[in-house]
Structure 1
Amino acid sequence: MLAYFLKVNVAIALFYAFYRLFFYKDTFFGWRRTALLCFFAISAAVPLLNIQTWITEQKPMVAMVDLYANVVLPEFTVSPQTTIDWKNMIRKAATFAYWGGVAFLIIRFFIQLAGIIRLACRCRTVRIGGSNIHLLSREGGPFSFFHWIFIYPSSHTEEEFNEILTHEQTHARQWHSIDVIISELVCILCWFNPFAWLMKREIRTNLEYMADARVLENGYDSKAYQYHLLGLSHHKAAATIYNSFNVLPLKKRIKMMNKKRTKEIGRTKYLMFLPLAVLLMIISNIEAVARTTKQLATEVIEAVDTSMEPTPKAITHTNDSIPEDVIFEVVEVSPEFTDGGMDGLIKYLSKNLKYPVEAQKAGIQGRVVVKFVVDKDGSIIQPQIARGIDPALDKEAIRVISAMPKWKPGTQRGKAVKARFTVPVMFKLPEDAKGEPAYAPVNTQLEEIVAVAYKPSTPNAKVEGDVFEVVEHMPEFPGGVQGMMQYIARNLKYPTEAQKAGVQGKIIVEMIINKEGNITVPKVTRPVHPLLDAEAIRVIGSMPKWKPGTQKGQPVNVKYSVPIMFRLQ
Structure 2
Amino acid sequence: MRELMTFFIELLISSSLFYLGFLIIKNHTTPTFKRFYLVAWLVFSVSFPLISIQSDQYPSVSINQIVIEASNRPQPNLVLKESQSSESSPDLSVNQNAAAVANDAKNEIDWIMILQTGYLIVAGFFMVRMIIGLFQIVMLKSDSKPVKENGLIIYQVNNPKFKGASFFGWIFIGESAQQEREIIISHEGIHAKLWHSLDILLSHIYCCLFWINPLSWVLKREIGLNTELEADLHILQSENRVIRPYTTLFSSRFCRCKANESF
TM-score, structure 2 length as denominator? 0.76
Secondary structure in structure 2 of the residue aligned to 1:150:
strand
Deviation digits for residues 176-224 of structure 1, max 9, x if unmatched?
1110111011100001111001011111111111001111112446553
Could you tell me which residue of structure 2 aligns to residue 112 of structure 1? 133
Q: CA deviation at 1:47?
A: 2.5
Give the equivalent residue in structure 1 for 2:20: 17
1:155 corresponds in structure 2 to 177
> 1: distance between equivalents of 2:71 and 2:137?
57
**Which residue type is aligned with residue 200 of structure 2?**
V
Q: 1:184 aligns with which of 204, 208, 226?
A: 204
Q: Deviations over 1:519-564 (max 9, x none)?
A: xxxxxxxxxxxxxxxxxxxxxxxxxxxxxxxxxxxxxxxxxxxxxx
> What is the SS of the residue equivalent to 2:212?
coil
Counting only pairs closer than 5 Å after superposition, residues 400-439 of structure 1 correspond to structure 2 as: none
Deviation (angstroms), 1:55 = 6.2
Which residue in the other structure is 1:129 paired with? 150
Q: 1:141 to 1:81 in 2, by over 3 A?
A: same
Aligned to 2:193: 173
What letter corresponds to residue 153 of structure 1 in structure 2?
E
Q: Name the amino acid aligned to 1:40.
A: L
* Conserved 8 A contact 1:166-1:214: no
- Larger relative helix fraction: 2
1:306 matched residue in structure 2:
none
**Residue deviations 1:451-490 (CA, integer Å, cap 9, x gap):** xxxxxxxxxxxxxxxxxxxxxxxxxxxxxxxxxxxxxxxx
Q: Confirm whether residue 164 of structure 1 aligns to residue 184 of structure 2.
A: yes
Provide closer, same or farther for how the CA distance between residues 100 and 165 of structure 1 changes in structure 2, counting only shifts above 3 A: same
Q: Give 1:227's aligned amino acid.
A: L
Q: Which residue of 1 aligns with 2:90?
A: none
In the other structure, the counterpart of 1:143 is 165
Does structure 2 retain, via aligned residues, the 8 Å contact 1:187–1:196?
yes
SS of 1:199's equivalent?
Answer: helix
1:120-164: per-residue Cα shift (whole Å, max 9, x none)? 01111011122211000112131000000000132231xx22111
Letter matched to residue 19 of structure 1: F
Other-structure match for 1:47: 49
Given the two structures, how large is their TM-score scaled by the length of structure 1? 0.37
Equivalent position of 2:62 in the other structure: 58
Matched residues in 1 for 2:197 and 2:32: separation? 15
* Equivalent in the alignment of 1:38: 40
**Counterparts of residues 113-512 of structure 1 (less than 5 Å):** 113-139=134-160, 140-157=162-179, 160-218=180-238, 219-220=240-241, 222-232=244-254, 237-242=258-263
Shift of 1:241: 3.9
Partners of 1:181 and 1:241 within 8 A in 2 = no
Of all paired residues, the percent bearing the same amino acid is 25
- Could you list the runs of 4 or more consecutive aligned residues of structure 1 that deviate by over 6 angstroms after TM superposition? 65-68, 83-86
Q: Is the 8 A contact 1:13 1:196 kept in 2?
A: no
Between 1:167-176 and 1:44-53, the stretch displaced more is: 44-53
Shift of 1:83: 7.1
Q: Secondary structure at the match of 1:106?
A: helix
SS at match of 1:154: coil
Structure 1: stretches of 5+ with no match in the other structure: 69-76, 243-569
Given the superposition, is the C-alpha separation of residues 173 and 59 from structure 1 closer, same or farther in structure 2, using an over 3 Å criterion?
Answer: same
Corresponding residue number in structure 1 for 2:114: 93
Per the alignment, in what secondary structure is the counterpart of residue 49 of structure 1?
A: helix
Could you say which structure has the larger radius of gyration? 1
* Inter-partner Cα distance in structure 2 for 1:67 and 1:109: 58
Instruction: Determine the C-alpha separation between the residues in 2 that align with 1:113 and 1:81.
Output: 48
Within 2, Cα distance between the matches of 1:66 and 1:121? 74
Structural RMSD (CA) = 3.0
Change (3 A) 1:45 1:80: closer
Write the distance in 1 (CA, Å) between the matches of 2:103 and 2:174: 67
Q: Which has a greater percent of strand?
A: 1
1: CA distance between counterparts of 2:128 and 2:134?
10
Contact 2:171 2:188 in 1 (8 A): yes
Q: Secondary structure at the match of 1:121?
A: helix
SS at match of 1:138: coil
8 Å CA contact 2:221, 2:259 repeated in 1: no
